[in-house]
Structure 1
Amino acid sequence: MYLDNNDFTLWMEKLSKKLSDIGKDLKTVITTGEAFVNDDKLLDNQDLAFLLKVSYRTLQRYRNSGKLRYFLVRHKTFYRMADVKDFIQSYASKKEIVMFNKGIEESKILK
C-alpha cells in the first residue's frame, strides 16, 4: 500500500488525536486515584493482600475454593470491593471485620 504525504499527514493527525484522548482519560484516572467499574472500587492482588494482611498464595487459595470472587483482565486479577466485603462478612470474625474496616479508613487517609 502506498501512502502519499497528504494521506500520511491525515493518518498521523488522527493517531495524534486518539492518543490525546487516551491521555486525557488516563490523566483523569490518575488524578482521581480511583478505578471504578459501576461505581465500585477495584483492588488488585497487591492491594488486597496488603489490606487483608495475607500472602498472594492465600488469595489464590480463596479464589480456587470459590470463597472470593474475582475477574481477570489480561492475566491480571482484580477484585470488586463489594465482593471483598461480602467475603469478609461471610468468613471473618467480628474482630477481623473491625480491623478490615479500620484498614480501609487508614488507606483513605494515606491517599
Structure 2
Amino acid sequence: MEIDKMEFSFWMKRIMQRFDILSDHLNLNIRERMVLDDEELLDNQDILHTLKISPRTLQRYRSSGELKYFTISGKLYYKLSDVRNFIHASSNKTRPS
C-alpha cells in the first residue's frame, strides 16, 4: 500500500490542526479554574474524580462536616486546602495506632 506525498501531507496537516484544537481546549479549561483568595476551588465533579467516591458519599462528608464547602450562585465549591486537609485527616483515621 502506497500513499502519495500529497495525500500524506494533507492528512498530517489535518491531524496537526486537530492537535491544535485539543490544545486550545485544554488551555481554556486550565484558565477557567475558579480561584478565591489565591486558592483554587474545586467543584463536585473534581472531588468525585479525585477521591473516586460516589455523589452520595460526598454528600455524607458534607453533611457530617468532615469536608468544608460553600456555595456560589447555587453551585458547591471546595477549597483545595480543605480537600487536602480532609484527605490528610482521613488517612490518619485509617492508620493503626
TM-score class, shorter-chain normalisation, is 0.5 to 0.7
Q: Please state how far the C-alpha of 1:75 moved relative to its aligned partner.
A: 1.9
Q: Distance in 2 between matches of 1:44 and 1:35?
A: 9
Look up the match of 1:76: 75
Partner of 1:37: 36
Which structure has the highest helix share of the two? 1
Larger radius of gyration: 2
Letter in 2 for 1:57: R
Q: TM-score, normalised by structure 1?
A: 0.54
Identity %: 43
Counterpart in 2 of 1:52?
A: 51
Partner amino acid, structure 1, of 2:31: T
Q: Which runs of 5+ in 2 are unaligned?
A: 1-27, 93-97
Distance 1:31 1:68, change over 3 A: closer
- Runs of 4+ aligned structure 1 residues displaced above 3 Å come to none
